[in-house]
């Protein structure tokens, strides 16, 4: 099948000279149904060829992806120079594996086939940079385990896009938790009072790259998008591992015990669905989730309580339709230490901007605790100059210069640059691979327990 006229037109707009000899990475984009696929290309990378081969079915998902790349190429400020070469035949997956037109496949889209896509790409001897989640069910997790073994055998690198690691308050919370003179040690907690609590809130109505985001209808079908914990919860579970046990090799067979999990729905009216998708009615595959009142019930909220090496954890992933005025997606996190609590808040009192506080639970004289706080922040300023600290009631707030808050979209370039370093080195650290397996075991086991409870 030949590309549609619209696709050919879009591809022509991107035509540039052939890549230079210095380019060692050639990207392939596979079935880009999610805007995250485009965000990987919001920036250029010196070692990456500007020519990108795209294999996907023709349709609105592909059109939207190409339009986003076109917007990056034609923007006034620091435009990109991508040239998209598009194939839309029904055998797009097989054709990609056969042609091997690049050496790194970017996969971000409908999650129903994503684990299959990843396995096929790895089997073809291609490196994979995949958006989360790489698996949304226990069966998908088993397939992913096989794929990691196959990646090892084929000497290719499989990695997922964990943007939240690059948010500055999250990074600083991680660093402070590794300072025993300030934080002490993690309080193991109990199921009722966990040592770590993380909650995120996302919204269906939002802007991406300065424009209202049009979501595909399948994003409201949990069999294609994934439920709350297997989808967005992937980030939260990853952060628990990355922040609390940095660079440590986790064993999902013995280090994790999932205790309980729940799931519940967000109500999306037809008018709201129309606004965010541009469609006039729910497609047939969503009808089973439409209630008698005509409101779509989207099972994308969830929580899970589990232990990781004895540390009690609770993570919650929530979806609302739209944020309150002035609001946006939020991340709240509590780390309970024996000397201090490290708390990220992002509510109305913080003007919906993430704020990191250090709460004193040490029992030390106030002056001595303040000394510990200032000493810890002084260590951080070696890497992040300009950090300051100020008292806020009973806590101390880390004052972060605005230059470190680069925004969610910029984090995709940071993740990609890190992955490209792994590709250049020819290996991914063992703790990263073990962490991905631990993470997807946790999220898919939570899904299994939540479904069993229903």
pLDDT for res 453: 63
Q: What is the pLDDT along the chain (454 residues), one digit of tens a residue?
A: 333 333 333 333 333 333 333 569 999 999 999 999 999 999 999 999 999 999 999 999 999 999 999 999 999 999 999 999 999 999 999 999 999 999 999 999 999 999 999 999 999 999 999 999 999 999 999 999 999 999 999 999 999 999 999 999 999 999 999 999 999 999 999 999 999 999 999 999 987 777 778 999 999 999 999 999 999 999 999 999 999 999 999 999 999 999 999 999 999 999 999 999 999 999 999 999 999 999 999 999 999 999 999 999 999 999 999 998 888 899 999 999 999 999 999 988 898 899 999 999 999 999 999 999 999 999 999 999 999 999 998 899 999 999 999 888 899 999 999 999 999 999 999 999 999 999 999 999 999 999 986 5
Whole-model pTM above 0.85? Answer: yes
Rounded Cα distance between 413 and 41, Å, is 8
Q: What pLDDT score does 326 carry?
A: 86
The CA-atom distances, in angstroms, between 305 and each of 77, 153, 342 are 45, 35, 20
Pick the CATH number of 5-161 from 1.20.1260.10, 3.40.50.720, 3.40.190.10, 3.40.50.2000: 3.40.50.720
Structure tokens at 346: 């992002």
Q: Where are the alpha helices (DSSP H) in 339-387?
A: 366-380
Task: Count other Cβ atoms within 10 Å, centred on residue 309.
Answer: 16
Q: What is the largest CA-CA distance in the chain?
A: 74
CA distance 424 to 416: 12
Determine the pLDDT at residue 9. 34
| Domain 165-409 part of CATH 3.30.360 | yes
Nearest of 71, 65, 76 to residue 30 by alpha carbon: 65
How far is 162 from 411, CA to CA, in rounded Å?
9
- Report in angstroms the alpha-carbon separations of 254 from 10, 257, 309, 311: 50, 8, 8, 13
Domain boundaries, the chain: 5-161, 165-409
Tally of helices (H runs) and strands (E runs) in the chain:
14, 17
The pLDDT of residue 1 is 36
User: Does residue 279 have a cis bond before it (omega within 30 degrees)?
Assistant: no
């Amino acid at each position: 099948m030949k590309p549609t006229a619209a696709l050919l037109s879009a591809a022509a707009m991107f035509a540039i000279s052939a890549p230079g000899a210095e380019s060692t990475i050639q990207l392939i984009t596979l079935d880009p149904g999610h805007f995250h696929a485009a965000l990987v290309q919001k920036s250029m990378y010196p070692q990456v060829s500007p020519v990108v081969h795209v294999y996907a079915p023709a349709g609105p998902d592909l059109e939207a992806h190409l339009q986003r790349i076109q917007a990056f190429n034609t923007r006034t400020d620091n435009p990109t120079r991508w040239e998209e070469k598009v194939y839309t035949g029904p055998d797009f997956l097989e054709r990609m594996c056969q042609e091997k037109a690049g050496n790194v496949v970017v996969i971000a889209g409908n999650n129903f086939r994503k684990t299959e896509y990843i396995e096929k790409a790895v089997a073809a001897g291609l490196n994979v940079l995949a958006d989360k989640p790489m698996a949304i069910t226990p069966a998908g997790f088993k397939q992913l385990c096989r794929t990691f073994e196959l990646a090892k055998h084929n000497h290719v690198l499989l990695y997922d896009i964990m943007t939240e690691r690059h948010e500055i308050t999250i990074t600083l919370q991680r660093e402070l938790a590794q300072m025993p003179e300030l934080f002490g040690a993690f309080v193991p907690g109990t199921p009722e009072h966990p040592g770590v609590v993380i909650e995120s809130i996302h919204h269906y109505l939002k802007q991406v790259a300065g424009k209202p985001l049009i979501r595909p209808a399948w994003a409201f079908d949990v069999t294609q998008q994934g439920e709350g914990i297997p989808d967005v919860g992937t980030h939260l579970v990853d952060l628990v591992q990355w922040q609390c046990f940095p660079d440590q090799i986790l064993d999902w067979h013995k280090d994790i015990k999932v205790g309980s999990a729940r799931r519940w729905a967000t109500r999306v009216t037809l008018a709201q669905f129309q606004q965010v998708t541009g469609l006039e009615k729910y497609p047939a595959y969503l009808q089973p989730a439409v209630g008698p009142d005509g409101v779509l019930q989207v099972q994308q909220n969830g929580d899970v309580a589990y232990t990781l090496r004895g540390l009690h954890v609770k993570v919650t992933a929530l979806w609302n339709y739209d944020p309150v005025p002035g609001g946006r997606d939020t991340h709240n996190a509590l780390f309970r230490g024996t000397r201090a609590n490290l708390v990220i808040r992002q509510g109305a009192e913080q003007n919906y901007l993430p704020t990191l506080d250090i709460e004193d639970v040490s029992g030390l004289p106030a002056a001595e605790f303040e000394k510990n706080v200032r000493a810890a922040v002084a260590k951080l300023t070696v890497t992040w100059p300009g950090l300051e600290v100020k008292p806020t009631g009973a806590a101390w707030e880390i004052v972060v210069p605005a230059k470190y808050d680069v925004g969610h979209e910029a984090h995709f370039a940071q993740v990609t640059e890190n992955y490209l370093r792994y590709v250049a080195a020819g290996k991914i650290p063992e703790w990263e691979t073990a962490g991905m397996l631990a993470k997807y075991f946790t999220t898919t086991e939570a899904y299994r327990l939540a479904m069993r409870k229903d």
